[in-house]
Structure 1
Amino acid sequence: MRLSGVYFAVAAGGFRRYSTYRVATAAGVFTNTVFGFILAYTFTALWSERPHLGGYDESQALTFVWTGQALLAAAALIGGGFQEELQERIRTGDVAVDLYRPADLQLWWLSADLGRACFHLLGRGVAPIAVAAFFFELALPASPLTWAAFLVSVVLAVVTGFALRYLFALSAFWLLDGTGLNMLSTLLSMFFSGMLLPLTVFPGAFGEVVRLLPWAATMQVPADVLLGEYEGAGVLGAFGFQAAWAAVLLAAGRALQSLATRKVVVQGG
C-alpha cells in the first residue's frame, strides 16, 4: 500500500474510532447545545446594550456563537484529540514503535486527527446549529459557495489547531508531566481563538495583534467566512492566512520532532 493510502486508512480509522462512542457523542451534543444557549443569551444581552459591537449585528453575533459550538470539538478548541494520547506514548516509551513505522510520525497523527475532526464536525457540529436555528434568528448564508468556502476554512482551521497542539504534545519528550502545558494550550485557545468573544471586540493595537495570532485561524476566521465578512479576493486572503500559519507551525513541529528524536532518550525506554 502506498503511503497516501496508509494515511487515508489512518484518517478513516480515526473517524470510525470516535463514531463508536455514541453515548459520549450524544452527551457532547447536549453539552454544546446547553453551553451555546448560555452564550447566546449572554450575547443577546450584550448586543442589546452595544448594537454592532465588533462589527456584528445581533443575528451575526448569535451565528458566531453557534459556529463556535459547531467547531468546539472538531477544531479541539478546548483540547482533546491526540494530544494527551501522544504524550502518554512518549512517557511510556511506546512512541518508539511509532518511530519505527514506515510512515511519518507527524503525518500519522495529523491523519488520525483529521478523521476525528470530520466525525466531530458531523456528529457534534450539525445538531447544535440545527437546534439553534429554531430558537434564534441566525445569519446563515444562502449561497452554496459560502458554505463551500466555510468548509475549506474549517479544514485549514483543523490543520492549524493540530499543528499548535502537536508542538505542545512534543513537550513530553522533555517533561515528565505535560498537564500544565496542556492547560496553558487550552487557555490560549479559548481566549485567542474567539471562542469566548469575537476577536473584533478587542480594541486598538491589542485587537490587531490577537487577530494575527495562529489561534485566530482556528475559530475567528472560519466564523467570518461563514458570516460573509470576506468578499472576493478577501476569502483567498483568509485562506492564505490560515494556510501560512498551518505551514509555519507544521514546519516548527517537524523541526522540534527531529530535535526530540535525536537528542532525547524516550522516558521508560
Structure 2
Amino acid sequence: MSTAAGVFTNTVFGFIVAYAFIALWETRPHLGGYDEAQALTFVWTTQALIACVAVFSTGFNHEMQERIHNGDIAIDLYRPVDLQLWYLASDLGRAAFHLLGRGIVPLTVGALAFDLALPRHPLVWLAFLASVTLAVVVSFALRYMVALAAFWLIDASGVNMISALLSMFGSGMLVPLTLFPGAFGEVVRLLPWASILQVPADVLLGRHAGPVGVAGALAFQAAWALVLLAAGRALQAAATRKVVVQGG
C-alpha cells in the first residue's frame, strides 16, 4: 500500500510540475539549455528516481540512529561484517525495489501524456542505469554520515531535516541546476548532491557528448562516492572509539 501510494503521489506531482514547466518554457524557450521536451523528461525522470535515490533521507537512517541511541549498535559492531558495507548492501536492495516499484509507472505515464525526449539507443539506458547506481551510492554515503551524527546528538532530527533540504535543493529535484545563475550555479553543480538527480537525468537526456562525456559524468559521481564513503568510514572510526549508551 505504501508503494502504491508513492506511485500515485509521484505521478500526481509529475503532472503538477510538468504543467508548471510548460508554462515556464513557453515564455522562456531553451531555459537552462533544455527545450520543452527535455525539460518535461527531466521532470518525469526525477519523479521516477525520488524514492530510489532517497532524496528525503529515507531508508536506514532512522533505524540506525535508533540503534545508536538504545545501544544496539554495539551488537552491530561486534558482528563479523563491515557496518558500512552492511547498510550499503541493504540500501542498494531498497533502491532497486523502488526503481522498479515506484520508478517505472510514473515515467511511463509521463511518456504517454507528454512528448518526452527519451533515448532510443540501449547504450544510453545502460549508462543511465550505471549513473543511477552511482547516485544511490552517493546518496547513501551522505545519509550514512548523517546517521552517524546520532553518536553525538541526543536528537538528530535537526540534522536529518537539514540533510533533506540540502538534498532537495542541490540535487535538481526542484529545478534543473543549470537554472541557477553565475558562480553560484557552477558551485552547486560541483557539489555531491548534483550526483543524485541532475547527473542521471542529464545522462538520460544525452547532454554529455559522446562516450567521453558520459564517462566524465560517471567519473564525477564515482569520485564523490569514494570520497564520501571514505569520509563516512573515518567518521565511524571516530564515533566508535568509545560507545556510550544514552541514559545508561
Could you tell me the TM-score, scaled by structure 1's length? 0.90
Is 1:256 the counterpart of 2:235 in the alignment? yes
Q: 2:244 corresponds to which residue?
A: 265
How many residues align? The count is 247
Listed as ranges, the gaps of 5+ residues in structure 1 are 1-22
Q: Confirm or deny: 8 A CA contact 1:192 1:216 kept in the other structure.
A: yes
* Residue type of the alignment partner of 1:252: A
Cα distance in 1, alignment partners of residues 14 and 156 from structure 2: 30
Is 1:198 the counterpart of 2:198 in the alignment? no
Cα distance in 2, alignment partners of residues 215 and 65 from structure 1: 17
- 1:233 aligned to 212, 235, 239, which one? 212
* Residue type of the alignment partner of 1:214: P
Q: 1:222 corresponds to which residue?
A: 200
Q: Confirm or deny: 8 A CA contact 1:173 1:266 kept in the other structure.
A: no
Residues 218-241 of structure 1: CA deviation (Å, up to 9, x unaligned): 010000000000122011100110
Listed as ranges, the gaps of 5+ residues in structure 2 are none
* Residue type of the alignment partner of 1:248: V
Is 1:79 the counterpart of 2:57 in the alignment? yes
Is 1:246 the counterpart of 2:225 in the alignment? yes
Residues 188-234 of structure 1: CA deviation (Å, up to 9, x unaligned): 00000000000001111001000000000001000000000012201
* Residue type of the alignment partner of 1:182: N
Secondary structure of the structure 2 residue equivalent to 1:115: helix
User: How far is 1:268 from its partner?
Assistant: 4.9
Write out aligned runs for 1:79-228 (5 A).
Answer: 79-228=57-206
Q: 1:66 corresponds to which residue?
A: 44
Residues 49-74 of structure 1: CA deviation (Å, up to 9, x unaligned): 11000000001000000110111000
Q: Confirm or deny: 8 A CA contact 2:48 2:106 kept in the other structure.
A: yes
Cα distance in 2, alignment partners of residues 138 and 62 from structure 1: 6
Q: Confirm or deny: 8 A CA contact 1:117 1:158 kept in the other structure.
A: yes
Cα distance in 2, alignment partners of residues 247 and 187 from structure 1: 23
Residues 111-166 of structure 1: CA deviation (Å, up to 9, x unaligned): 00000000000000000011111111100000000000000000000000000011
- Identity across matched positions, percent: 72
Q: 2:5 corresponds to which residue?
A: 27
Cα distance in 2, alignment partners of residues 234 and 263 from structure 1: 45
Q: Confirm or deny: 8 A CA contact 2:119 2:205 kept in the other structure.
A: yes
User: How far is 1:32 from its partner?
Assistant: 0.5
User: How far is 1:265 from its partner?
Assistant: 1.7
* Residue type of the alignment partner of 1:88: E
Stretches of 4+ aligned residues off by more than 4 angstroms: none
Cα distance in 2, alignment partners of residues 254 and 142 from structure 1: 40
Secondary structure of the structure 2 residue equivalent to 1:211: helix
Secondary structure of the structure 1 residue equivalent to 2:53: coil
Secondary structure of the structure 2 residue equivalent to 1:265: coil
Q: Confirm or deny: 8 A CA contact 2:138 2:228 kept in the other structure.
A: yes
Q: Confirm or deny: 8 A CA contact 1:53 1:201 kept in the other structure.
A: yes
* Residue type of the alignment partner of 2:114: F
Specify whether residues 255 and 120 from structure 1 end up closer, same or farther in structure 2 by C-alpha distance, changes over 3 A only. Answer: same
Cα distance in 1, alignment partners of residues 60 and 25 from structure 2: 37
Q: 1:53 corresponds to which residue?
A: 31
Cα distance in 2, alignment partners of residues 208 and 258 from structure 1: 33
Secondary structure of the structure 1 residue equivalent to 2:52: coil
User: How far is 1:264 from its partner?
Assistant: 4.1
User: How far is 1:266 from its partner?
Assistant: 3.4
* Residue type of the alignment partner of 2:136: V
